[in-house]
Structure 1
Amino acid sequence: MALERPAPLTSALLPRRTCEPRSERSLEGPPNLCTRNSSNSVEMKTDLNLLLECLKYQMDNAFSQKEALVTIHSICQQNSNASVYFREIGGLMFVKNLAKSSEHSMVKEAALYTLGAIAEKNVYCQQTLCTSELFEDLTWFLSNDSNINLKRMSVYVILVLVSNNRTGQTLVRETGCITVLSRLFRTVISKYELDLSDKNVFQSYQLWSSVCSTLCVCVNNPQNDENQMFCCSLFPHANEWLKNFMKPEIIRPICSFIGLTLANNTYVQKYFVSVGGLDVLSQVLVQLESDSHETLSSAKLAVVVTKTVDACIADNPTFGIVLSKYHIVSKLLALLLHESLDSGEKFSIMLTLGHCTEDCEENQYDLFKNNGLPLMIQALTESQNEELNKAATFVLHNCKKITEKLSLSLGEYPFDENETQQLKDINGKEKNLEEHWRKAKEILHRIEQLEREGNEEEIQRENCQDNISSMNMSIQNTWKHLHADHIGRATKAEDEDKSHSRRFQSYKSHGVMSKACTNDDQMKTPLKSANPVHACYRESEQNKSLYKAKSSCNQNLREETTFEKNFISQSRNSADPT
C-alpha cells in the first residue's frame, strides 16, 4: 500500500552541509559524500567507521547525529555489503541503543528509519535485531504518548522484522506488540469521519495504513494460524469501515487485511461469515459493480473485493448460498464483460464464479439465467490464456449438474411466469442446445488430451487452434441464438464420461482453485509495497494532495516514491538552524 514517509525527517531540521576534502574531515560532523561514490569497498568501510565515531562523539548534537544516520542509510542502500560491515563493527547495535536512549525525538526517528532500512536490506541484520527486547521497546513507543511520526517509524521496523520471518511473527505476539497494533487499527482514525484533506486526519490515516500493512505480514508469508486467530477479532471493526466508507483508501487495505487473515484457515473463514463479513463484502461488490459502468476505478476496485470474497469461499463452497441472496453471480458476469479488465483480473472473476457455483444450485441457476454458459464457452474458444481456460472449465463442470436437473423438471424451482416460459422455450429447442453443449464437451475433452501430452503449450497452439477453427462457426451461430432469446441455461446433456471427472479432480487437486485471493497483488504483501518508508504517498510533494491508490493486483498499490531522495537531498541542502 502506498504510504508517505514520516514527516519529522525534513530538511528544516538539518544543518547545512559543505563538501570538504577527505583530509580536512573531523568528527564535528558526518563525512561528506557529495562528490564521491561510496561503492568502493575501502572508502565505504572508512566512511562507516567515521560515521559511527560521529554518532558516539556527538551525543549532544542531535542534528549531527540525525544527519549521520541518514548518511549511513544512504551508504547501506547503495552497497549491499555495507549493512553487513556496519553490523560487524557494532554499528547496528549502537543505533538500536541510540533509538531507545536518545532524548531527542528526531534522533529516535532517524535511528529507527536506519534500522528498518538495514534490516530490510540484509536478512542477517534482520535476525540480529529480531529480539524480544527490541519488540518491547517498539511496543513502548506505540503505547505511550509518542508523536505520530515516531509511531510510524516504529510500525515500519516491526513490519520489516516480521516480514518473511516466523520468529518475528512469534515475537510480535508473545511481547504483546500485536495487541497494541490491533488497538491502533481500531482507534487511530475515527470510523465516523474521514476527511483526508485535514492534515491531522491525513497523518493519522498514514499511521493506520501502516498498521494495516504490518498486521498483514503478521498473519501471512509464512501463514501464521495463531496470529490469524488473534486478528480475526478485528473483523467486526473492519465491517464497519466497509459499510461506512466506499473509498479506495479504506477498501484496499481492509480487503488485504481480511483476505490474508482468513486465507487457508477454515475456522477464521467461518467466523468471518458468522459476523456478517460476507454479507458486507457482497453489498460493497454490488455497489462497485453498479458504479463500474461509469468509472474504471470502480471496476478495478470491484476485482479487489471479488478476490477477497473468493478467499472466503474457496475452502467452504457452501458459503456460496450467502452470495446468492445478493445475486453476486450476475454481478460477476457483468463485471467479466468490462473491457478495461486484463486477463489476470478476468481470471480472478472467473475463479470466483467457479467457487460460487461449486456447491450451490442457486448460483448455478443464476449463471444460466444470466447467459453465463455462452461466456464460459467463448472464453474456451477465444482465449489463449491457459489459466483462464482452466477456470472456465471449472465453471462448466459445476454447471453440468444443474443443466441435467433443469432438463428433467421445470418444477424444482419456484420460477415466475417469465422464467417458466423461458425454460419451456429451452426444452423446445433441446436439439440445438444439446448440440451447443456437445461442442463445449468436445473442447473440454480436447483440453484434457493436451494436458496428458508432453510439451503442452506447443501442441495446444498447433492442434487446439485447428479444433477450435473447425467448430467455431457452429458455436457462434448457437451463441447468437442464445443471446437473441436471452437463454442462459442449457438443458438435458449427455452424461459426462469418467475420464472428464478424473481430469477435473486432478485439476482441482493441483491447486488451480487455491489461487483464489492470494495470487493478487492484492493479497500478497511484498515488503516494499507495505512499509511506511518505501510506500509513501507519492503526492506528498504536490501540496499534500490525497493519494490515489494504484490498481494493480498487486493493485495493491505497489509504487516506489521519491521521499528517500527528497529526504537525503534536503539533508544536504538545508539551512543551518542557528
Structure 2
Amino acid sequence: MESEDTKKTQEMKTDLNLLLECLKYQMDNPLSQKEALVTIHSICQQNSDAGVYFREIGGLMFVKNLAKSSEHSMVKEAALYALGTVAEKNVYCQQTLCTSELFEDLIWFLSNNDSNTNLKRMSVYVILVLVSNNRTGQTLVRETGCFKILSELFRAALSKYELNLSDKNVFQNYQLWSSVCGTLCVCVNNPQNDENQRLCCSLFPHANDWLKNCMMPEIIRPLCSFIGLTLANNTHVQKYFISVGGLDVLCQVLVQLESDSHKTLSSAKLAVVVTKTVDACIADNTTFGEVLSKYHIVSKLLALLLHESLDSAEKFSIILTLGHCTETCEENQYDLFKNNGLPLMIQALTESQNEELNKAATFVLCNCKKITEKLSLSLRECPFDENEAEQLEDINMKEKNIGEYWKKAKDILHRIEQLEREENEEKTQREKDNVSSMNINIQNTLKHLHTNSIGGGPKAEDKDTSQSRKLQSYKSHGFMSKACTKDDQMKTLLKSANPVNACYRESGQSKALYKANPSCNQNLQEGTFEKKDSVSQSSDRVFKQPNPIVKNRQQQLPVTEILLTPRKRQLLSNERTTSGGIKERKIRKNFTEEEVNYIFSGVKRMGNHWNAILWSFPFQQGRKSVDLAQKYHKLTKRPKFVAP
C-alpha cells in the first residue's frame, strides 16, 4: 500500500514538472497553455499535496506572472482559475499568493473595460479564495482598494430589477454579481472583521432597493447572506441598517413570502431565510423587536411555523426568532397569545426530540410568563365602559384559554427544572465522593509520614490541616460556580444563540465559499468554463445547522450550510470511554492567541456568562465553559496584566 502511494506521488510530481515545462515552451500557443493549466487545476483539485509541490518547483509564481503578462484572455482566465484552486486546497499556497501585488493585478482585471465578464468572475473567485479564513486577506482587500471595486460591481453588475436569466448575457452578469455577494460575505466573516462590516454599510440602501423591487429567490438569498453576515455581532451596523429602513424592508418581504407560502413550498423555505436575517438584526438588541410589531411579524411567524414542509432546523430558527421578538416587547408577547402561540410552543416541547428546538420553545414560554400574569391582573382591576364590553368579553375568553395553556406550560417547565436539579444533585454527589476519596487517601498518606518521621509530628499535622483547607476550598468553589438559577441559564443560552454566529464555527469555510463562485469550473476543451452552483442557487440548504468544526481543509461544507445559522457548539466530554470501558484522558489543547482574544471580547460584551461566550466564538473543538472561566482568571491574575 505504501509503495502504491509513493508511486502515485511520484507520478503526480512528474506530471506537474512536464506541465510546467509545457507552459514555458508554448508561449505562442495559447490553446496548449490553456489545456495545460486546466490539467494542473485537475491534479491540484484531487490532491492538496500537489499544490505544495507545484509551489516548490516555482509553478505557482510562474502561473501568477502568466495571468498578468499573457495577451490572451483564455489564458488569463485559466491561469486565475488554477491559482484559485491551488490556494483553495492548501493554506501555504494561499499565504504565498496573498500579497498586495496580486490584489492590485486583480483590481486591474476588474476595472479594465476590456476585461470580459468571465475574466472578471475568475478575478472575483481568486479574491474570495485569498480572503476566506484569512485576516491578512481581509485587510489587503480593504487597503489596496479592492473592496471599492467589489462595491461598484455589487451596485452595477445588475442594472434591471426584471431579470431574464434565460438570456445568456444577463445570466453571466447575474453570476458575476452573486460571486461578488459571496466574496463580500467572506470579507466580513470568519474571522469577523468590524472595519469591513462598517464599509459594507454603504451597500445597504442598494440592497434594500433590490429587495423591494425583485422578489426572485436568486436575488433574495444572496442578499440575505450578505446582510446577515454584515450585521453579525455588530450593534453599530445593526443600528445603521435599521436607520436606513432595512428591517422594515425585510419585514415587508417576509409578510409577502408568508402569504405566498400557502401556495408554494419555495416561498415557505425562502421565508425562513428572511426570518433568520431578521433575527440577525434583533438578536443582539431585542428592543429592535418593537419595529416588528407594526407588521405583526409574530403572527406571520406562527403561521409559517405550521407549514408541514419545514424541517426541525427551520422550525428552530422560527421559534428562536419568536424568542427574540418577545423577550422585551409586550406587544409582540400579546400577539403570540392571541394568535394561539402558547399551545404551539407547548406542542413543540412535547413532540420534538430536538434539544435546541426545545430550548428555544422554553425561551419563548419564559418570556411570556410575566405578560400572562399582567393580563390576568388587568382583567380584574381595570374598569371598562359599555363600549369596551364586547372587547372585554373576547379578552376574557382568550384569557381563560391562556390560563389553561399556561398551566400546561408550568407543568412542563417544572419537569424540566426537576430533571436539571436531579442532574445537578448527581454531579454534586459525584464531586463529594471524589473529594471524600481524596481526603481519605491524603489522610492515610499523612499518617504514614507521621509514623515514619522523626520529630516531624507537628509539621505533618500542619500539612494535614492545610490540605484539608485546600480541599474544602476546592469543594466550595466547585459548588458555588454552579449556583445560578435555571431561568438565568436559559435566558443566557438562548440569547447567545445568535443566528449568524455559526459563521465563525467552521474552520473549513473557505472551501465551501469557493464553491459558491458560479461558473468557475470550466470545461476548457470546449472553451467555456463549466458552471458551478452559486450562493444564490444552492439556497435550499441555506442556514442549516453546522456540523462540528472540520480540522482538515479537504473536508468542507457547502456554502449554504454555514451561512446565517444559530450557533450550535457540540461539546465533547473531558473523558471519552473506549470500547473496553477504560476512560481516556482529554488531550490538552493550549489556548491560541485568537482564543484568548475571543475570551476577552466575550467578557467585554456579555460579562462572565461563559456558556454564552462559548457559543458565540469559534473555540477549538472540546472546549467547555469552565475552561474559558479558568483561563480568564489565570490571565487576569498575572502581574501587570493588561486586557487586549
Same fold (TM over 0.5): yes
1:143 aligns to what? 111
Alignment-derived partner of residue 90 in structure 1: 58
Question: What does residue 219 of structure 2 align with?
Answer: 250
The amino acid across from 1:262 in the alignment is L
Aligned to 1:421: 393
Q: Per-residue CA shift, 1:206-226, capped at 9, x if unaligned? A: 000000000000001111000
1:508 aligns with 2:491: yes
Structure 2 residue 229 is matched with structure 1 residue 260: yes
Find the partner of 1:450 among 419, 423, 435.
419
Instruction: Give 1:131's aligned residue.
Output: 99
1:310 maps to which of 248, 265, 279:
279
* TM-superposition CA deviations, 1:199-254 (whole Å, max 9, x none): 11111000000000000000011110000000011000000000000010000000
Equivalent residue letter for 1:503: K
Offset of residue 553 of structure 1: 2.6
Structure 2 stretches lacking a partner, 5+ long: 426-481, 523-527, 546-556, 561-644
Counterparts in 2 of 1:348 and 1:404: CA distance versus 1, 3 Å:
same
What corresponds to 2:605 in structure 1?
none
> Match of 1:516, SS?
coil
1:301 matches 2:270: yes
Preserved contact between residue 134 and residue 191 of structure 2 (Cα < 8 Å):
yes
Cα–Cα, structure 1 residues 247 and 523, in superposed 2: closer, same or farther, change >3 Å? farther
Kindly provide the amino acid, as one letter, of the partner of residue 395 in structure 2: L
Q: In structure 1, what is the Cα distance between the partners aligned to 2:507 and 2:341?
A: 30
Secondary structure, counterpart of 1:359 in structure 2: coil
Candidates 70, 75, 95, aligned match of 1:107: 75
Whole-angstrom distance in 1 between the partners of 2:530 and 2:83: 28
Maintained 8 Å contact 2:326/2:368: yes
- Post-superposition offset of 1:541: 11
User: Is residue 74 of structure 1 aligned with residue 63 of structure 2?
Assistant: no
Task: Decide whether the 8 Å contact of 2:515 with 2:559 is kept in 1.
Answer: no
Corresponding residue of 2:372: 403
Distance 1:307 1:215, change over 3 A: same
Alignment of 1:323-402 (within 5 A): 323-402=292-371
Match for residue 156 of structure 1 among 110, 117, 125: 125
Matching of residue 61 in structure 1 with residue 51 in structure 2: no
- By how many angstroms is 1:171 displaced? 0.5
CA contact (8 A) 1:191 1:241 kept: no
> 1:331, CA displacement in angstroms?
0.3
Gap change, CA 1:373 and 1:324, over 3 Å in 2 = same
Determine which of 510, 513, 519 is the counterpart of 1:530.
513
Per the alignment, in what secondary structure is the counterpart of residue 409 of structure 1?
Answer: helix
Alignment of 1:482-497 (within 5 A): none
Contact 1:109 1:150 in 2 (8 A): yes
Map of 1:167-206 to 2, 5 A cutoff?
A: 167-206=136-175
**Alignment correspondent of 2:239:** 270
Give 1:459-470 correspondences, 5 Å limit: none
Segments of 5+ residues of structure 1 without an aligned counterpart are 1-35, 457-498, 561-578
Q: CA deviation at 1:450?
A: 2.9
Following superposition, the deviation at residue 513 of structure 1 comes to 4.0
Distance 1:442 1:259 in 2: 37
Cα deviation, residue 441, structure 1: 1.6
Q: Using the alignment, how far apart are the partners of 1:38 and 1:137 within structure 2?
A: 38
How far, CA to CA, are the matches of 2:530 and 2:99 in structure 1? 39
Q: Distance in 2 between matches of 1:167 and 1:538?
A: 26
Call closer, same or farther: CA 1:381–1:412 in 2, change over 3 Å. farther
Question: TM-score under structure 2 normalisation?
Answer: 0.69
The higher-RCO structure (CA 8 Å, 6+ apart) is 1
Does the Cα contact within 8 Å between 1:550 and 1:558 map onto a contact in 2? no
How far does the alpha carbon of each residue in 1:535-557 deviate from its partner, in whole angstroms, 9 at most, with x for none? Answer: 54999999999995541134799
Q: Please, which of 253, 256, 259 is the counterpart of residue 287 of structure 1? A: 256
Q: Do the aligned partners of 2:515 and 2:533 also contact (CA within 8 Å) in 1?
A: no
Q: How far is the alpha carbon of 1:455 from its aligned partner? A: 10
User: Normalising by the residue count of structure 1, what TM-score does the alignment of the two structures yield?
Assistant: 0.77
Q: Cα RMSD between the aligned structures?
A: 3.4
Matching residue's letter, 1:291 = D
Superposition deviation, residue 330 in structure 1: 0.1
User: How many residues were matched structurally?
Assistant: 480
CA deviation after TM superposition for structure 1 residue 512, in Å: 5.6
Contact 1:225 1:265 in 2 (8 A): yes
Give the superposition deviation at 1:440.
1.5
Query: Retained in 2: the 8 A contact 1:521–1:554?
Result: no
* CA distance in 2: counterparts of 1:191 and 1:413, whole angstroms: 56
Deviation at 1:321, TM superposition (A): 1.0
Tell me which amino acid in the other structure corresponds to 1:114. A
Comparing 54-63 with 242-251, greater Cα deviation is found at 54-63
Equivalent residue letter for 2:8: N
Residues 533 and 320 of structure 1: CA distance in aligned 2, closer, same or farther (over 3 Å):
closer
Q: CA deviation at 1:426?
A: 4.4
What is the distance in 2 between the residues matched to 1:267 and 1:49? 52
Give the Cα separation in 1 of the matches to 2:99 and 2:121: 20
Mapped to 1, the partners of 2:128 and 2:495 lie a distance apart of: 30
Q: Aligned-pair distance for 1:523?
A: 12
1:528 to partner: Cα distance: 4.3
Letter of the 1:424 counterpart: N
Q: Which residue of 1 aligns with 2:179?
A: 210
**Structure 1 residue 400: deviation in Å?**
1.0
SS at match of 1:506: helix
Overall identity of the aligned pairs, in %: 74
Contact persistence 2:372–2:402 (CA under 8 A):
no
8 Å contact kept, 2:221–2:539: no
1:338 is paired with a residue of what secondary structure?
Answer: coil
| Deviation of the 1:38 alpha carbon | 11
Cα distance change of structure 1 residues 543 and 247 upon mapping to structure 2, 3 Å threshold: same
Contact kept, 8 Å, 1:87 with 1:125, in 2: the verdict is: yes
Separation in structure 1 between the aligned mates of residue 533 and residue 326 of structure 2, nearest angstrom: 43
Residue type at the aligned position of 2:73: S
1:553 aligns with 2:536: no
Pair 355,288 (structure 1): closer, same or farther in 2 beyond 3 Å: same
**Aligned counterpart in structure 1 of residue 85 of structure 2, from 117, 126, 139:** 117
Displacement of 1:501: 8.8
> Partner residue of 2:621?
none
Structure 1 counterpart of 2:492, one-letter code: S
Aligned partners of 2:516 and 2:532 also within 8 Å: no
